[in-house]
Amino acid sequence: MSRALRILIAAAVLLGGTVSLFAAESVPLTRGTAITDPDLLRKLDQNDTLTISRLLWPERSANTPLTTDLLFASLPQLKEIQPAIDAEFDRYVARQKAAYPTETIGVGEGFDVQLFDRANLKSPDTRFVLAGIVNRMDRAYVSEEPCGEIRLIYRLARFENRPDGGKTAARLPMTFNLVMKARDARQTDANGKPVTCAEVARRWLDNGDWQGLIGSSSDAMLDRIETNIQISIAPKSALHDFRSDYLLKVFKYNAATKTFEESTLENQIDRDRIVADDALRRDFKAWLLAPDNLRAFDRGTVLIPEKFLAKAALVPTPAGLDASAMQPEFGMMQGEAKGEPVFSDDDVVGALKQAAARGDLQNIRSVAGFQRRLNDVTCAGCHQTRGIGGFHFPGVDWLADKPSNSTIVPASPHFFGDQVRRRDILTAFAAGKRPDFSRGFASRPQTRGSQELAGTEYQDGWGAHCSLQIAGSGTPDRSFTSWSCAKGLTCQAAAASSRIGMCFIKTR
């Protein structure tokens, strides 16, 4: 019997055999696309069904949890992760000291800039707990054979002994995502035939097949690990407003060496390096403005070559809607900063005309639309858009008996607003059709979900992003004309110069 099958049988026993994976799901938008129910996640974690150790170290005894002091030291697959994170911390501290030489920086409330305590990654009192499972078959355009991805999302937590012999548990601001391929091309069904993308999608949509969840747990299914750490908190001071910075890293799995190796982040443009290098600047502009690439950029399916990308992303929050150095593309567009921009307004307008001549563009119809996509196509820009701090999926805190000052919703408005699009793609896969992988801006769901999302904060209800008129023109920007508010609400400016506002109740 395969290890994967043993895992599936154990899960079935745990959940009562035929219980639907989504039976306890309280958020209809995620039905068939994600598992967010805290009670189910607690069972899967405490039964050692989908823990990191079960998936990466199955030979280890499950009698005791794999704490972080053992995780990075005992698993050879993870040996490169902690040194890479340490190096990013050192660079971050050096930059902070250079930018704010009068401020102190360190671990603890006594410092002006309070760092995440890296001792938590070497502690016998901390471990990663399962926070959610997300189907990302909508990313099959990246590589068709594995049919996209399944993400197992873990949250770092600290456990401490109480005087009565029990334990207290508190979540810490770090997520660890184990990204697996949605299917193993070698896997077969009960009839000995290869499992298809359609079959994987149907299993998810039917709410109950464990092999539709993770396929198998072999090395062939491993793709990468993504980490997100709240690296620092800086209270408001005479030098700056309140700010919290998040560090994003990616480690791709190398099947030959059986290790997760530091990698570039998908579409995370290395702004500083591109702006500083004339040749790289010219290459990036020529590549992105080429009609085919610009059309993929418009649809949100562009894959920017690695030579333009960074191996880490720093996500400052809150970043606001006005253009500023906190946004990943700042300085690349005309008028944003001193010096020669990478893209002039004329560059963009001319390229959009050429791309549109080959067919209608879906999202980008103006310079402002191009600038917004240049931000939200990056990891950093996406995390700054309608996120919960620097996270899009923190998961419900199932460790707390009575959650109060803790996360009681599993994910951000951006995450929920995108579920209709993702389910539409799963439905197309299940029917054997070619899915439409395009996506709108991170600020606003695509119109394909307009009926289900109408009147909600995700589409046009209270707090939704909406389109403001261009100052002095009396007309809205063409990239955002469909961003309206529901009846009884009005679009009000959320920033001084932004073309984007928020839907609020009309006031006199």
CB atoms within 10 A of CB 336: 17
Q: What is the pLDDT of residue 216?
A: 55
Length of the chain (residues)? 508
The first and second tokens of residue 442, run together, are 């991170």
**Cα separation, 277 vs 295, whole angstroms:** 26
Q: How confident is the model at residue 136 (pLDDT cuts 50, 70, 90)?
A: very high
Q: How confident is the model at residue 360 (pLDDT cuts 50, 70, 90)?
A: confident
Mean pLDDT for the chain overall: 87
What does the pLDDT read at residue 403? Answer: 54
- The mean pLDDT of 56-62, rounded to a whole number, is 75
With a pLDDT cut of 90, the percent of the chain lying above it is: 64
The pLDDT of residue 319 is 84
Confidence class of residue 56 from pLDDT cuts 50, 70 and 90?
confident
pLDDT in tens, 374-433: 999 999 999 999 999 889 999 999 987 665 555 678 999 999 999 999 999 999 999 999
Angle at 414 between CA 209 and CA 500, to 5 degrees: 160
Go through 153-179 and write b for each residue having 16 or more CB atoms within 10 A of its CB, e for each that does not.
bbbbbbbeeeeeeeeeeebbbbbbbbb
Nearest alpha-carbon partner for 231 in 93, 386, 392: 93
Confidence band (pLDDT; 50, 70, 90) for 49?
confident
Q: Are strands 105-106 and 313-317 parallel, antiparallel or unpaired?
A: unpaired
Q: Mean pLDDT lowest for which of 7-11, 82-86, 436-440, 471-475?
A: 7-11
364 within 8 A of 370, measured Cβ to Cβ: yes
pLDDT for the residue numbered 251: 98
pLDDT band of 266, cuts 50, 70, 90 = very high
Instruction: Grade residue 5 by pLDDT with cuts at 50, 70 and 90.
Output: very low
pLDDT tops 90 at residue 164:
no
Question: How far is the C-alpha of 475 from the C-alpha of 140, rounded, in Å?
Answer: 38
Cα separation, 346 vs 353, in Å, equals 11
pLDDT tens digits for range 78-132: 999 999 999 999 999 999 999 999 999 999 999 999 999 999 999 999 999 999 9
What is the mean predicted confidence (pLDDT) over 73-81? 93
User: What mean pLDDT do residues 329-345 have?
Assistant: 93
DSSP class of residue 440?
Answer: -
Mean pLDDT of 275-291: 97
Express as a percent the part of the chain with pLDDT over 70: 88
The pLDDT of residue 472 is 54
Q: Is 342 exposed, middle or buried (0-12, 13-18, 19+ CB in 10 A)?
A: buried
> b/e for 374-408, b at 16 or more Cβ within 10 A?
bbbbbbbbbbbbbbbbbbbbbbbbbbbeeeeeebe
CA 446 vs CA 282, 415, 486: distances in Å? 32, 13, 16
The answer to which of 8-12, 259-263, 275-279 has the lowest mean pLDDT is 8-12
Pairing of strands 500-505, 243-254: unpaired
Instruction: Kindly tell me if the per-residue pLDDT of 213 is higher than 70.
Output: no
- Across 340-368, average pLDDT: 94
Rounded to an integer, the average pLDDT of 353-379 is 93
Phi and psi, residue 315, nearest 5°: -115, 100
pLDDT score for 236: 87
CA distance 356 to 118: 49
For the beta carbon of residue 331, count every other beta carbon within 10 angstroms: 18
The pLDDT-based confidence of 31 (bands split at 50, 70, 90) is: confident
Asked if the model's pLDDT at residue 147 lies above 90, the reply is yes
pLDDT(508) > 70? no
Residue 188: predicted pLDDT: 78
**Backbone dihedral angles phi then psi of residue 282, each to the nearest 5 degrees:** -65, -40
Give the per-residue pLDDT at 7.
36
Q: Using 50, 70 and 90 to split pLDDT, how confident is the model at 162?
A: confident
Core vs surface per residue 286-325: b (16+ CB within 10 A) or e: eebbebebbbbbbbbbbebeeebbbbbbbbbbebbbebee
pLDDT at 165 over 70: no
* Mean pLDDT for the stretch of residues 187-215: 76
Whether 169 has a pLDDT exceeding 60, the answer reads: yes
Of the candidate ranges 82-96, 109-123, 304-318, 320-334, the one whose mean pLDDT is the lowest:
320-334
Tally Cβ neighbours within 10 Å of residue 94: 11
Give the position of tokens 């099958």. 5
Amino acid at 495: A
How would residue 65 be classed by pLDDT, with cut points 50, 70 and 90? confident
For strands 500-505 and 489-493, give the pairing. Answer: antiparallel
Question: Radius of gyration of the chain from Cα atoms?
Answer: 23
| Of 508 and 336, the one with more pLDDT | 336
Structure tokens at 372: 């917004």
Q: What is the pTM for the complete model shown?
A: 0.90
**Average pLDDT for residues 124-153, to the nearest whole number?**
95
Per the structure block, which two tokens stand in for 185? 């091309």
Distance CA 326, CA 308 (A): 19
| pLDDT tops 60 at residue 27 | no
Provide φ and ψ at 214, rounded to 5°. -125, 0
CA 227 – CA 85 distance, rounded (Å): 9
Confidence of residue 282 (pLDDT cuts 50, 70, 90): very high
The 10 Å Cβ neighbour count of residue 110 is 8
Describe the chain by its helix, strand, coil percentages, rounded to 5: 35, 20, 45
At residue 495, the pLDDT reads: 67
State the pLDDT at residue 497: 64
Q: What are phi and psi of 412, to 5 degrees?
A: -85, 165
Please report, for residues 8, 33, 159, 203, 215, the alpha-carbon distance to residue 189 in angstroms, rounded to integers and kept in the order given: 14, 22, 41, 12, 11
By the 8 A CB rule, do 321 and 495 touch?
yes
